[in-house]
Amino acid sequence: MARSKPIHTPLITPPPNGSVSTEIFPAMGEEAIFRMIRDFYGKLSESSIGHMFAADAEGLAAEAEKSGAFFVFLLGGPPLYQQRYGPPRMRQRHLAIEIDEAARQEWLRCFGDVLEDATERYNFPAEHLEGFIEFLVKFSAWMVNAE
């Protein structure tokens, strides 16, 4: 979807590097992180912001794979995203999509749904869940680019 509004810049800074515990990756492993992100994208595709993502299963799977590579690195794993796609520059990469506060809240809701049973389903370390959610709140606020 092409932008129809001017780019909004939030009055916050992005979360600092290292704001998520790198102890998460060794506990979960690469496959569990990718599975968690695939499940997250499944929720996104069925949500009110589903139109922001690929409409076909193949495209959605590719988007989830790309996002999964980002989260593997973020959570302490190898730099898969950088190796495959270059520097993350997430805000810049998302500027073509209008992301307003309502979309941000829906994105957070979908991630929250996946994280509800993340300790059991993906072996997400419970002691790091609150910090990860705090990161997602700050990260998503930084991604808002439309009022």
Query: What is the rounded CA–CA span in Å between residue 49 and residue 31?
Result: 26
pTM: 0.90
pLDDT digits (tens, 9 = 90+) for 72-110: 999 999 999 999 999 998 888 888 899 999 999 999 999
What mean pLDDT is predicted for residues 56-76?
97
Residue 2 pLDDT exceeds 60: no
Cα dihedral value 109, 115, 116, 121, nearest 10: 150
Q: Number of C-alpha atoms within 13 angstroms, CB side, residue 78?
A: 6
Domains and CATH numbers, the chain: 24-143 (1.10.490.10)
Q: Quick one: tokens of 25?
A: 């990756």
